[in-house]
């Protein structure tokens, strides 16, 4: 499996913008996606297109791709805007569709006029300075629909040219969608107040509109016109839904670096993402990953380590504000280091309006960690790599041949009750579930994992020998020296001591071998160790599943089974009639007597309550 295939198969399945680079590190294509993995993978599928020219271009593009990068967004709108910004900034060779003069659509309010008009425009830089612009939006049709809905509540003038006095109003006035400034039907002060309310709503200040709609709803309800009341209610919902927020373009043109971090539950990886915002736009991101499995490091040390290495090697020609999700120990020392280095940085915690950006940065850090984990899983699934892994395993454990068949064992119990054992079967490095086996422990009711492991291994290989079946190439037991030693003893007793066996202890992920006093240390990043862990964890999962079923079964049936006079037939009769033990508890003495007789019914009521 090549690097590109590994990258695309481990991409997150979320909204975002992807970037293709060639072998010189140059960006050759930028695109947006609702599902990054599916969209990027679609380029590599052998599909036929209606347009042969387009098909040829796709083939040329794919040939040049050397690496894939991405930025995760919170929704489709953010992905659309970020894609547009990045294409205009980098002008990739294969992107030609968004380089023209058209930009995002904005709502323009012409406050320089006596009666400000409202229109949808592009390229705000082409309009007077006293014009207010709200946006950007991703879809002109969507803005027009929003304004159309707003206009029913807040009428306004939408003429293309400046107002001139008319003798007759336009059709919009007759439809009550315009207040008629062209015929002096409204004074400028009242008209401007209405326009201000529209601006407040478009900026997200919806309280005024809600109050107005509330009054309309109450008015309709008092008149018992419930259909109109419902209309106003639905209209508010529709307008609120149509104004999805976005976190990739900002009015404030401050240059900022927004930091987010994430670590998985098992503390295998730590990732930090820095979103670089320049002149109000997300321009790029920098990401860093730390493998925690062989490091003893605090969160504040990870912060300091990454930030110092990154920012002390940076020499920007502009002042940058570093925005943190939280303050960390050592931040003051870092500030002092920056001052001495004369780098123009400021550091502060995020403001409320920047929390959306912090979420985006953290989300990107999270998917980086998830991608690292996914890449490890993909590597384990790759056929050629698995054979290579098994070859490495043979060398590390000094096995006589490649361990084509590996059987893994685990025990599950709580305080020794309902103990179960499991055996999982891996064929050429992959689970082969058809050969999995469960074992209900027979020997003990006290918690003794070592004795239980001995029983399960004995039962498994006694059966193998009786039926003359194939022995595994390697046995893995969950546990340390104790479990390994009983496994070795069983194999010796059965005369199959030539079968290799190892133990994998959870605490330090150490490998125990027979006739070796010290555990074998395998690097934590080793895929051989990861395969051992996968086998161990799968055996544990399989054992726990049966253990849960046994406990549930026991909890359901044990109360009835312990009552003298209730056999399987009566037990089933009771459960069929009343549904469960709880149903039997709630049944009256009379109902129970009708089914099993008064004496047994009385006994059930006495025992079960």
User: Per-residue b/e over 350-362, b at no fewer than 16 CB within 10 Å?
Assistant: beeebebbbebbb
Listed by start position, the domains of the chain span 3-90, 106-204, 256-375, 398-546, 562-608
Q: Which residues contact 308 (CB under 8 A, 6 or more apart)?
A: 334, 337
Q: SS3 for 225?
A: coil
What kind and span of H or E run contains 558? helix 527-561
Structure tokens at 475: 């046995």
pLDDT surpassing 70 at residue 317: no
% of residues, the chain, pLDDT over 90: 21
- Answer yes or no: are the C-beta atoms of 369 and 289 closer than 8 Å: yes
Average pLDDT, the chain: 80
Task: Mean pLDDT check: name the lowest of 52-56, 164-168, 224-228, 362-366.
Answer: 52-56
Rounded Cα distance, 157 and 102, in Å: 25
Cis peptide leading into residue 136 (ω within 30°)? yes
Rounded Cα distance, 516 and 501, in Å: 12
pLDDT surpassing 80 at residue 447: no
What kind and span of H or E run contains 6? helix 3-9
Q: Does domain 398-546 have CATH number 3.30.420.340?
A: yes
- Nearest alpha-carbon partner for 108 in 126, 92, 82: 126
User: pLDDT tens digits for 506-541?
Assistant: 777 889 999 888 888 888 778 899 899 989 989 988
User: pLDDT tens digits for 417-434?
Assistant: 567 889 999 998 889 999
Provide the residue count of the chain.
609
Q: Do domains 398-546 and 562-608 have the same CATH topology?
A: no
pLDDT band at residue 249 under the 50/70/90 scheme: low
Nearest 5°: the CA angle 407, 408, 410 is: 150
Q: Integer distance in angstroms from the first to the last C-alpha of the chain?
A: 63
User: pLDDT tens digits for 537-556?
Assistant: 899 888 877 766 666 655 55
Looking from the CA of 176 toward its CB, the CA atoms found within 13 Å total: 3
pLDDT surpassing 90 at residue 394: yes
- Answer yes or no: are the C-beta atoms of 39 and 33 closer than 8 Å: yes
pLDDT surpassing 80 at residue 85: no
User: pLDDT tens digits for 368-383?
Assistant: 898 888 887 776 666 6
Structure tokens at 448: 């003794």
Q: Which residue has the higher pLDDT, 126 or 61?
A: 61
Structure tokens at 158: 């939408």
- Nearest alpha-carbon partner for 407 in 458, 470, 475, 455: 475
Rounded Cα distance, 34 and 47, in Å: 20
Q: Is the dihedral of CA 193, 199, 201, 203 positive or negative?
A: negative
Strand runs (DSSP E) across 370-487, as ranges? 405-414, 417-427, 430-431, 437-440, 474-478
pLDDT band at residue 80 under the 50/70/90 scheme: confident
Structure tokens at 225: 């016109």
- Answer yes or no: are the C-beta atoms of 319 and 345 closer than 8 Å: yes
Residue 20, pLDDT score: 94
Residue 46, pLDDT score: 66
Beta pairing class for 345-349 and 320-324: parallel
CATH architecture of the domain 562-608 equals Orthogonal Bundle (1.10)
Q: Is the dihedral of CA 364, 246, 281, 18 positive or negative?
A: positive
Options 1.25.40.10, 3.40.1440.10, 3.20.20.10, 3.40.50.300; which CATH number does 3-90 get? Answer: 3.40.1440.10
Rounded Cα distance, 526 and 522, in Å: 7
Structure tokens at 205: 């200040």
Residue 97, pLDDT score: 42
Q: What is the 3-state secondary structure (H, E, C) of 79-130?
A: HHHHHHHHHHHHCCCCCCCCCCCCCCCEEEEECCCCCCCEEEECCHHHCCCC
Residue 99, pLDDT score: 36
The topology (CATH level 3) of 256-375 is Nucleotidyltransferase; domain 5 (3.30.420)
Residue 56, pLDDT score: 74
Rounded Cα distance, 582 and 585, in Å: 5
| DSSP result, 438-469 | EEE--S-SS--HHHHHHHHHHHHHHHHHHTTP
Q: Could you tell me where the DSSP H helices lie in 188-255? A: 188-202, 207-222, 226-242
């Amino acid at each position: 499996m090549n690097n590109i295939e590994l990258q695309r198969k481990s991409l997150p399945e979320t909204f975002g913008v992807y970037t293709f680079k060639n072998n010189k590190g140059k960006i050759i294509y930028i695109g947006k996606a609702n599902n990054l993995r599916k969209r990027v993978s679609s380029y590599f599928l052998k599909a036929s297109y209606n347009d042969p020219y387009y098909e040829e271009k796709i083939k040329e593009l794919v040939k040049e791709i050397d690496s894939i990068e991405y930025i995760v967004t919170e929704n489709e709108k953010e992905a659309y805007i970020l894609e547009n910004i990045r294409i205009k900034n980098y002008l990739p060779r294969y992107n030609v569709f968004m380089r023209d003069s058209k930009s995002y659509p904005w709502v323009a309010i012409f406050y320089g006029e006596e009666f400000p008009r409202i229109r949808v425009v592009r390229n705000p830089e082409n309009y007077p300075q006293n014009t207010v612009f709200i946006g950007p939006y991703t879809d002109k049709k969507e803005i027009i629909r929003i304004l159309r809905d707003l206009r029913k509540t807040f009428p306004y003038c939408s003429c293309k040219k400046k107002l001139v006095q008319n003798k007759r109003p336009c059709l919009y006035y007759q439809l009550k969608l315009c207040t008629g400034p062209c015929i002096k039907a409204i004074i400028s002060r009242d008209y401007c107040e209405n326009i201000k309310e529209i601006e407040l709503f478009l900026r997200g200040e919806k309280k005024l509109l809600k109050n107005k709609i509330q009054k309309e709803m109450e008015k309709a309800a008092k008149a018992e016109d419930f259909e109109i009341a419902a209309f106003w209610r639905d209209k508010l919902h529709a307008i609120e839904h149509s104004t999805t927020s976005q976190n990739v373009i900002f009015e404030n043109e401050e240059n900022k670096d927004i930091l987010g971090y994430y670590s998985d539950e098992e503390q295998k990886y730590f990732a930090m993402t820095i979103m670089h915002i320049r002149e109000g736009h997300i321009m790029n991101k920098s990401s860093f990953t730390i493998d925690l499995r062989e490091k003893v490091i605090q969160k504040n040390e990870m912060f300091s380590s990454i930030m110092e290495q990154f920012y002390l090697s940076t020499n920007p020609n502009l002042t940058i504000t570093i925005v943190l999700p939280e303050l960390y120990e050592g931040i003051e020392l870092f500030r002092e280091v920056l001052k001495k280095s004369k780098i123009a940085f400021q550091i502060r915690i995020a403001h409320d309006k920047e929390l959306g950006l912090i979420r985006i940065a953290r989300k990107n850090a999270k998917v980086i960690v998830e991608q690292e984990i996914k890449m490890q899983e993909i590597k384990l699934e790759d056929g050629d790599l698995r054979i290579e892994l098994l070859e490495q395993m043979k060398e590390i454990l000094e096995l006589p041949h490649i361990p084509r068949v590996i059987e893994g064992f685990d025990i599950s119990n709580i305080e020794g009750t309902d103990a179960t054992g499991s055996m999982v079967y891996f064929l050429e490095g992959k689970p082969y579930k058809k050969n999995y086996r469960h074992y209900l422990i027979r020997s003990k009711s006290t918690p003794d994992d070592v004795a239980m492991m001995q029983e399960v291994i004995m039962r498994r290989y006694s059966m193998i020998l009786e039926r003359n079946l194939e022995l595994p190439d390697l046995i893995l037991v969950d546990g340390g020296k104790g479990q390994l030693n009983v496994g070795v003893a069983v194999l010796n007793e059965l005369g199959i001591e030539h079968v290799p066996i190892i133990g994998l202890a959870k605490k330090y992920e150490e490998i125990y071998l027979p006739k070796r006093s010290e555990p074998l240390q395998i690097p934590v990043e080793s895929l051989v160790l990861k395969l051992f862990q996968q086998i161990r964890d799968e055996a544990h999962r399989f054992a726990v599943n049966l253990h849960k079923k046994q406990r549930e079964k026991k909890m359901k049936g044990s109360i009835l089974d312990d009552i003298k006079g209730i056999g399987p037939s009566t037990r089933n009769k009771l459960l069929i009639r009343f549904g469960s033990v709880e149903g039997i508890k709630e049944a009256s003495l009379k109902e129970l007597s009708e089914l099993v007789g008064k004496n047994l019914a009385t006994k059930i009521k006495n025992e079960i309550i």
